[in-house]
Amino acid sequence: MRATEGQLRPRGDSVTRRTASASTDTPRLTLLDCSLREGAYLRPFTPQETAQVTAQLVGLGISMIEIGHGVGIGAGPEHGAAPFDAEAYLDAVSAAAPHARVGMFYIPGIGAARLLERAARHGLNFVRIGTNVSDTRSGERVVRQAKDLGLHVSFNFMKSYLCTPVELARLGQAAASWGADAVSVVDSAGCMLPNNVAEYVTQVVNLTGVPVGFHGHNNLQLAVANSLAAIESGATIIDGTIRGAGRGGGNTPTEILVAALSMRGVATGLDPVAVLRVADRVSQALWPAAAWGAGTSVVTALNRFHSSHLPLVEIMATFCGVDLWQLIAEVGATGAEEPSRELVRARAAGLSGRREQ
């Protein structure tokens, strides 16, 4: 879905009000909906559900849609594997929404070259390669393979905040030199503020020469504000999920982002109320009882602690009889990108010892 210049006009729903005129110098904007990937952390979807939701998103005018397992192609039992392989999802979507641009995530070490090749043969249009900022070189081979397969490639820098804006811009420049069509700033822990996002995006935009995206998490309820800051700083690809579905504190809610863009006069070609109605239907069907954004999500953001490590910390907190939030703070203070079991155990034991004293 691309933004168009001119006024965003209401269509299809009398509830929608006329908004301010869109700025004539508004950059072309792509809203990428990843509800069917991030939402899979809440529960796995069948190929039929994936196809049905994709068709509804395409009907709204959203043409770039990410599907599949949360950690991407090649997820195994240790990741809570999806009950269907990538090809089953892609085949179902191709039949239901043949004009959709459908993509999947790929993390080196989880994905495999043969799996990416198979997905491309079954209609994959784009792939988003994700690595931690300390491990970007592992993505070079995947970028080159994906380009050889004719895919649109985005390089997503997970935990972007663990390096400086200048360092991230240099990593983005390297990814672009490998052939990446776009790069994305990723607020994995939902710990960034709008001024942080603006600084990171500005640096990456200025140095890379390719479209820049932003993927926000909503631990501090700032994902929409951060997305707006990213757009103002030159980002042209913004991720969202229906109702903000996702693990941890959730993600940028697509329907709220569309409404905010409408109020700002940024033309998206989408009817905000139509998006809200689809969001209601989809969320009631797929995750009616789900909830995110609780206190623990805020604590993880305060300590720049990624939610993927919560299960280990919860186990250790219970085993050692210590406060979960204190243990998150202790582990977060180490700055460890991927805290080991030994590190978490040591911090939990330290907390336990101080409590006994």
Predicted confidence at residue 179, as pLDDT, reads: 98
Predicted confidence at residue 214, as pLDDT, reads: 98
Whether the CB-CB separation of 28 and 61 falls below 8 Å is answered with: no
Q: To which residue do tokens 């863009």 refer?
A: 261
Q: What are phi and psi of 101, to 5 degrees?
A: -90, 110
Residues 43, 46: Cα–Cα separation, whole Å = 10
Residues 151, 187: Cα–Cα separation, whole Å = 25
Query: 94 to each of 87, 242, 256, 340, how far by Cα in Å?
Result: 10, 21, 28, 41
Residues 39, 250: Cα–Cα separation, whole Å = 9
In order, the DSSP letters of 125-194 are: -EEEEEEEGGGGGGGHHHHHHHHHTT-EEEEEEETGGGS-HHHHHHHHHHHHHHT-SEEEEEETTS---H
**115 contact partners, CB below 8 Å, separation of at least 6:** 73, 74, 86
Instruction: Read off the pLDDT of residues 331-349 as tens digits, 9 standing for 90 and up.
Output: 989 988 889 999 999 999 9
Most confident of 100-104, 179-183, 260-264: 179-183
R_g (Cα) of the chain, nearest Å: 20
% of the chain beyond a pLDDT of 90: 64
Predicted confidence at residue 291, as pLDDT, reads: 53
Residue 78 confidence (pLDDT) above 90:
no
Residues 309, 329: Cα–Cα separation, whole Å = 13
Strand partners, 154: 128, 182
pLDDT range class, residue 146, cuts 50, 70, 90: very high
Residues 103, 356: Cα–Cα separation, whole Å = 52
Neighbours of 96 (CB within 10 A): 18
Predicted confidence at residue 284, as pLDDT, reads: 82
Give 21's DSSP letter: B
Residue 231 confidence (pLDDT) above 90:
yes
How far out from the chain centre does Cα 92 lie? 23
Of the ranges 139-148, 254-263, 293-302, which one carries the lowest mean pLDDT score?
Answer: 293-302
Residues 286, 53: Cα–Cα separation, whole Å = 10
pLDDT range class, residue 41, cuts 50, 70, 90: confident
Residues 271, 68: Cα–Cα separation, whole Å = 26
Predicted confidence at residue 176, as pLDDT, reads: 98
Phi-psi category of 83—alpha, beta or left, where left has phi over 0 and alpha has psi -120 to 50? alpha
What's the mean pLDDT when you consider all of the chain? 87
Residue 339, both tokens: 């805290």
Whether the CB-CB separation of 173 and 201 falls below 8 Å is answered with: no
Predicted confidence at residue 341, as pLDDT, reads: 93
Higher model confidence: residue 18 or residue 156? 156
**Mean of pLDDT values over 322-330:** 91
Identify which of 28, 61, 44 has the alpha carbon closest to the alpha carbon of residue 272. 61
Predicted confidence at residue 294, as pLDDT, reads: 57
Give 291's DSSP letter: -
CA atoms within 13 A on the CB side of 157: 31
In order, the DSSP letters of 58-94 are: HHHT--EEEES-TT-TT--GGG---SS-HHHHHHHHH
Residues 102, 128: Cα–Cα separation, whole Å = 11
Instruction: Read off the pLDDT of residues 54-76 as tens digits, 9 standing for 90 and up.
Output: 999 999 999 799 999 989 998 87
Instruction: Read off the pLDDT of residues 270-289 as tens digits, 9 standing for 90 and up.
Output: 989 899 889 888 888 887 66
Residues 210, 236: Cα–Cα separation, whole Å = 10
